[in-house]
């Protein structure tokens, strides 16, 4: 009877845990569910450290709000335990980390918790993280390889260093690491093709210029948005406009409208390319652009943004899409505004196709020029 | 420690905060004026740095102080996507608690700024921390998350590739959250209890880094004065309704300051607007093109208005007429707004040099300097006999030895 009673108490606690997690996972946009979430979080945060793996697992598939609420519980439980001189369940956290079926964020959080209490245990895990789906985790392994390669260079063993650098570059997904490794390889007189590493799309067809007087071109629907067939001719700012081939040899895949059209202001340009996918698959279009832009995949608008000259970065915009098996048409619209300052000359974008980790997906139809850029 | 209790202190006390607390951007009234006295003046690193603590990430948000607790935000990680909120012991700088969350919005910004740019705000019971990614977290002062919002998740084009920086303002139980940018531009009034939208007001489609000012009328009514390139909009914080609009433009970087019923606006130099007691109208009092704030926000103290320009020149004008009275060249440039306490102005330049200006001298006088050696872009907090200032790497407490 006593055993049954304890068992039912344990079941009740589990049910309460599950209900609280469900409340957090139900939080929606515009603060929907926040009040209930606050109460549920209060309950979860009272749990012991043995609930940490379950809290991490509850982040699998959770929306960003829920993941952060659950992180709030993890932070309190782990923080309080460590402040009181307690321990964290290292083995369970390690097993969670090593199970790649879990989402990347809670796995990276598990690694952080392990490192917080046992640096050596964390370091022992790092070699296995090369190629991890979590960019944060693989970063650790890339950094380790990079350090080892640097040591080999200092020891005069350049061939071994090159091979380690190659492994590091293959695994690297963060720009700073990629550039550091590429720089080290070039110091050793090895060629590196960053264009291919990132998967920037370099072969395009361009049409323009169309107007963007008073920034109205962003909303205007010009010919390429109605019919983007390469044989079609449109009415542009300076008369008839045709699609013209354009290829960039910029290492970071910069597609520059100023090159074919001159340094124009208050104009709109279009660029399109075909991307051949071997399968139906999820992917990301990653765009960098400091002009107002719109992007379509197979005729469907993916996203649009009317911001001008506020900065540009590789992977500035990460746009999840679904590629179709076979040919996919990517159409980009880029608008240049009226500003005349030196820093507003650019009328350009860079685009790559990759998976959620940032690993390049290459078009099966790519001519593959393999231009090694030194 | 002596304190000169100014009238505004009563407003702070009414909110559950104690005199001496520094609960938000530019202090209890958002004007950069402190009632502290006996702060160090002839600064000396050996004598006046009470403690210095490393931070786990970058930031230019101002520290907050409630009692013996200092709150500061930071952004860490390769992509600045680790949003950090720390609570430090004001006595020795030790970490009382530290919380980290994942950024949900964009963490792209100019290299000089960071994702921890907006200054949090507190009512003495709850802490509200906003980041450039437009992620907003409400915690109690013991670090327990109460609620959160991801405003760029909700409104995907609400972002700025240079970074956002407008600080939160809390008035009448409403958290005024400015998300003003070139695209999906808005300001929202959020319920402080649960973060839900009370109202959402479309704002000019233009980047804006200023922070709102709050007018409390004699009748007890409140107006939130939103500054943008389109001027000043006076908004009812309960409803989001616009009461009046000064439409002659204003800066999008330095913020206005309210003193004695007059709003001093960075507009065509400085424009002084006399606000009606009922909060329903305004009247232009004067305009001076000879006072030109750049990045740092305006200050008004003892009938004088102060502006810092891009060259580091501190201008002093007559608050009643706008007439420029004197200028004093400081070592600039300044990214953070200065503060005033006990008739001394404290300014930290971008190279990390603290400069103290004695405002009682006929044309101002540099009365103290101290090198901290790191880029400082924040506006300092002043509380309980100490100044708190942070860089991308550290936070300092500066105080007289007797008050450590």
What are the tens digits of pLDDT across the range A295-315? 999 999 999 999 999 999 999
Contact A288, A310 (CB under 8 A): no
Q: What is the CATH number of the domain that holds A208?
A: 2.60.120.260
Q: What is the DSSP code (8-state) at residue B289?
A: S
Nearest residue of chain B to residue A72 (CA atoms): B145
Tell me, yes or no, whether A330 lies in a domain: yes
Tell me, yes or no, whether A313 lies in a domain: yes
Q: Name the phi and psi angles at B326, rounded to 5.
A: -160, 165
Residues 13-42 of B with CB under 8 A from A: none
B240: closest CA among B184, B185, B190, B196? B190
**What 3-state class would DSSP assign to B362?**
coil
Spatial separation of the C-alpha atoms in residues A18 and B311, rounded to whole Å = 60
Structure tokens at A71: 């992180």
Which of A25, A134, A307 is the mutation pick for testing B, counting most B CBs within 10 A?
Answer: A307
Q: Which residues of B touch A68 (CB under 8 A)?
A: 101-102, 104, 137, 145, 148, 150
In chain A, pLDDT over 90 holds for what percent of residues?
93
Contact A307 B161 (CB under 8 A): yes
The reply to whether A30 touches chain B by the CB within 8 Å rule is yes
Smallest CA–CA distance, residue B96 to chain A, in Å, is: 9
Tell me, yes or no, whether A362 lies in a domain: no
Smallest CA–CA distance, residue A372 to chain B, in Å, is: 28
Residue extents of the structural domains in chain B: 8-403
* Statement to judge: residues A343 and A211 lie in one domain: yes
A225: closest CA among A294, A318, A274? A294
The reply to whether B143 touches chain A by the CB within 8 Å rule is yes
Please state whether beta strands A292-297 and B95-102 pair in parallel, antiparallel, or not at all (unpaired): unpaired
Nearest residue of chain B to residue A218 (CA atoms): B183
- pTM for this prediction: 0.94
Q: Is the dihedral of CA B227, B230, B234, B238 positive or negative?
A: negative
Contact B147 A31 (CB under 8 A): yes
Residue B111: CA count within 13 A, CB half-sphere: 2
Q: Which residues of A touch B182 (CB under 8 A)?
A: 306-308, 310
For residue B157, give the nearest of A30, A305, A316 by CB distance: A305
Helical (H) or strand (E) element with A114: helix A104-117
Structure tokens at B139: 């915690």
User: Residue A302's Cα: distance from chain center in Å?
Assistant: 16
* Statement to judge: residues A269 and A172 lie in one domain: no
Smallest CA–CA distance, residue A43 to chain B, in Å, is: 11
Smallest CA–CA distance, residue A305 to chain B, in Å, is: 7
Which of B142, B147, B149 is the mutation pick for testing A, counting most A CBs within 10 A?
Answer: B147
Spatial separation of the C-alpha atoms in residues B13 and B65, rounded to whole Å = 14
Q: What is the DSSP code (8-state) at residue B244?
A: E
Nearest residue of chain A to residue B96 (CA atoms): A83
Contact B102 A174 (CB under 8 A): no
Tell me, yes or no, whether A371 lies in a domain: no
* Statement to judge: residues A64 and A180 lie in one domain: no
Tell me, yes or no, whether A142 lies in a domain: no
* Statement to judge: residues A187 and A210 lie in one domain: no
Q: Name the phi and psi angles at B99, rounded to 5.
A: -125, 145
CA dihedral B319, B324, B328, B333 (to 10 degrees): 80
Quick one: average pLDDT of B363-375? 97
Residue B186 has pLDDT above 90, yes or no: yes
* Statement to judge: residues A50 and A114 lie in one domain: yes
Q: Name the phi and psi angles at B152, rounded to 5.
A: -80, -20
Tens of pLDDT, residue by residue over A155-165, are: 999 999 999 99
Contact B78 A176 (CB under 8 A): yes
Q: What is the DSSP code (8-state) at residue B63?
A: P
**pLDDT given for residue B310 in this prediction:** 79
Cis ω on the peptide bond leading into residue A164 (within 30° of 0)?
no
Nearest residue of chain A to residue B162 (CA atoms): A310
Tell me, yes or no, whether A297 lies in a domain: yes
**pLDDT given for residue A5 in this prediction:** 56
Please state whether beta strands B33-34 and B339-341 pair in parallel, antiparallel, or not at all (unpaired): parallel
Contact B261, B275 (CB under 8 A): yes
**pLDDT given for residue B403 in this prediction:** 52
Tell me, yes or no, whether A6 lies in a domain: yes
* Statement to judge: residues A344 and A302 lie in one domain: yes
Structure tokens at B183: 């695209």
CATH 2.60.120.20 fits B8-403, yes or no: no
pLDDT band at B10 (very low <50, low <70, confident <90, very high): very low
Structure tokens at B15: 């909110």
Residue A373 has pLDDT above 50, yes or no: no
**What 3-state class would DSSP assign to A28?**
coil
* Structural domain boundaries, residue A214: 198-354
Contact A307 B183 (CB under 8 A): yes
For residue B207, give the nearest of A35, A41, A310 by CB distance: A310
Q: What is the DSSP code (8-state) at residue B237?
A: T
**pLDDT given for residue B221 in this prediction:** 86
The reply to whether B200 touches chain A by the CB within 8 Å rule is no
Contact A72 B99 (CB under 8 A): yes
Residue A182 has pLDDT above 80, yes or no: yes
What is the domain count for chain A?
Answer: 3
* Statement to judge: residues A324 and A225 lie in one domain: yes
What are the residue ranges of helices labelled H in B272-314?
Answer: none
Residue A1 has pLDDT above 70, yes or no: no
Contact B352, B374 (CB under 8 A): yes
A224: closest CA among A332, A304, A321? A332
- Beta bridge partners, B24, equal none
Structure tokens at A320: 């999840």
Spatial separation of the C-alpha atoms in residues B353 and B348, rounded to whole Å = 5
Greatest Cα pair distance, chain A, in angstroms, is 91
Spatial separation of the C-alpha atoms in residues B392 and A10, rounded to whole Å = 47
Quick one: average pLDDT of B265-291? 96
Residue A32 CB: number of other CB atoms within 10 A? Answer: 16
pLDDT band at B401 (very low <50, low <70, confident <90, very high): confident
The reply to whether B95 touches chain A by the CB within 8 Å rule is no
The reply to whether B145 touches chain A by the CB within 8 Å rule is yes
Tens of pLDDT, residue by residue over A66-116, are: 999 999 999 999 999 999 999 999 999 999 999 999 999 999 999 999 999
User: Residue B344's Cα: distance from chain center in Å?
Assistant: 18
């Amino acid at each position: 009877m006593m055993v049954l009673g304890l068992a039912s108490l344990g079941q009740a606690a589990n049910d309460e845990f599950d209900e609280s997690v469900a409340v957090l996972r139900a939080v929606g946009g515009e603060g929907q569910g926040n009040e209930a979430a606050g109460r549920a979080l209060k309950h979860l945060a009272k749990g012991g450290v043995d609930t940490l793996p379950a809290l991490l697992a509850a982040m699998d598939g959770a929306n960003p709000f829920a993941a952060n609420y659950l992180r709030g519980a993890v932070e309190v439980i782990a923080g309080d335990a460590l402040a009181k001189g307690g321990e964290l369940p290292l083995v369970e956290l390690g097993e969670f980390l090593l199970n790649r079926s879990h989402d990347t964020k809670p796995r990276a959080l598990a690694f952080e918790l392990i490192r917080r209490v046992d640096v050596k245990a964390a370091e022992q895990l790092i070699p296995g993280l090369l190629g991890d789906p979590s960019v944060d985790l693989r970063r650790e392994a890339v950094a380790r390889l990079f350090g080892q390669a640097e040591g080999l260079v200092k020891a005069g063993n350049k061939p071994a260093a090159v091979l380690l650098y190659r492994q590091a570059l293959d695994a690297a997904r963060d720009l700073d690491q990629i550039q550091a490794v590429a720089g080290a390889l070039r110091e050793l007189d090895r060629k590196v093709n960053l264009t291919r590493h990132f998967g920037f799309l370099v072969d395009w067809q361009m049409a323009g210029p169309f107007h963007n007087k008073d920034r109205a071109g962003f909303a205007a629907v010009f010919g390429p948005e109605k019919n983007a067939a390469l044989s079609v001719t449109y009415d542009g700012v300076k008369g008839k406009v045709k699609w013209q081939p354009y290829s960039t040899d910029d290492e970071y895949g910069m597609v520059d409208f100023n090159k074919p059209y001159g340094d124009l202001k208050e104009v709109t340009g279009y660029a399109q390319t075909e991307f051949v996918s071997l399968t139906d698959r999820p992917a990301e279009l990653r765009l960098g652009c400091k002009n107002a832009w719109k992007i379509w995949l197979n005729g469907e608008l993916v996203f649009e943004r009317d911001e001008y000259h506020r900065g540009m970065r590789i992977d500035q915009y990460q746009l999840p899409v679904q590629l179709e098996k076979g040919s996919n048409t990517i159409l980009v619209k880029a608008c240049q505004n009226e500003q005349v300052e030196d820093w507003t000359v650019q009328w350009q974008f860079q685009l790559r196709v990759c998976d959620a980790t940032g690993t390049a997906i290459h078009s099966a139809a790519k001519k593959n020029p393999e231009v090694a850029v030194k | 420690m002596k304190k000169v209790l100014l009238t505004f202190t009563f407003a702070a006390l009414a909110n559950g905060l104690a005199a001496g607390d520094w609960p938000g951007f530019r202090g209890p009234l958002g004007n950069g004026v402190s009632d502290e006295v006996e702060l160090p003046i002839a600064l000396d690193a050996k004598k006046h740095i009470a403690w210095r603590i490393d931070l786990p990430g970058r930031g230019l948000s101002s520290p907050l102080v409630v009692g013996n607790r200092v709150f500061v935000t930071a952004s860490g990680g390769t992509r600045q996507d680790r949003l950090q909120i720390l609570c430090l012991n004001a006595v020795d700088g030790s970490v009382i608690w530290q919380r980290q969350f994942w950024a949900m919005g964009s963490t792209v910004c100019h290299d000089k700024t960071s994702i921890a740019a907006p200054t949090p705000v507190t009512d003495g019971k709850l802490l509200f921390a906003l980041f450039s990614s437009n992620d907003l977290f409400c915690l109690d002062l013991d670090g327990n998350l109460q609620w959160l919002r991801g405003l760029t998740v909700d409104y995907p084009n609400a972002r700025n590739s240079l970074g956002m920086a407008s600080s939160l303002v809390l008035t009448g139980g409403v958290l005024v959250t400015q998300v003003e940018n070139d695209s999906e531009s808005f300001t929202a009034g959020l319920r402080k209890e649960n973060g839900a939208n009370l109202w959402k007001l479309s704002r000019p489609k233009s980047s804006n880094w200023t922070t709102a000012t709050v007018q409390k009328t004699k009748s007890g009514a409140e107006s939130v004065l939103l500054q943008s390139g389109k001027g000043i909009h006076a908004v009812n914080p309960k409803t989001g309704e616009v009461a009046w609009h000064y439409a002659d433009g204003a800066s999008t970087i330095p913020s206005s300051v309210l003193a004695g019923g007059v709003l001093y606006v960075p507009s065509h130099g400085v424009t002084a607007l006399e606000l009606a007691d009922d909060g329903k109208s305004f009247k232009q009092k004067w305009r001076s093109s000879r006072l030109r704030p750049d990045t740092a926000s305006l200050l008004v103290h003892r009938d004088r208005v102060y502006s810092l320009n891009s060259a580091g020149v501190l201008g002093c004008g007559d608050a009643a007429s706008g007439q420029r009275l004197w200028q004093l060249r400081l070592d600039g440039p300044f990214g953070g707004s200065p503060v005033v306490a006990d008739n001394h102005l404290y300014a930290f330049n971008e190279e990390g040099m603290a400069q103290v200006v004695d405002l009682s001298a006929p044309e101002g006088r540099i009365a103290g300097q101290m090198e901290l050696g790191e880029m400082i872009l924040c506006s300092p907090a002043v509380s309980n006999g100490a100044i708190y200032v942070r860089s991308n790497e550290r936070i300092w407490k500066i105080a007289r030895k007797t008050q450590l």
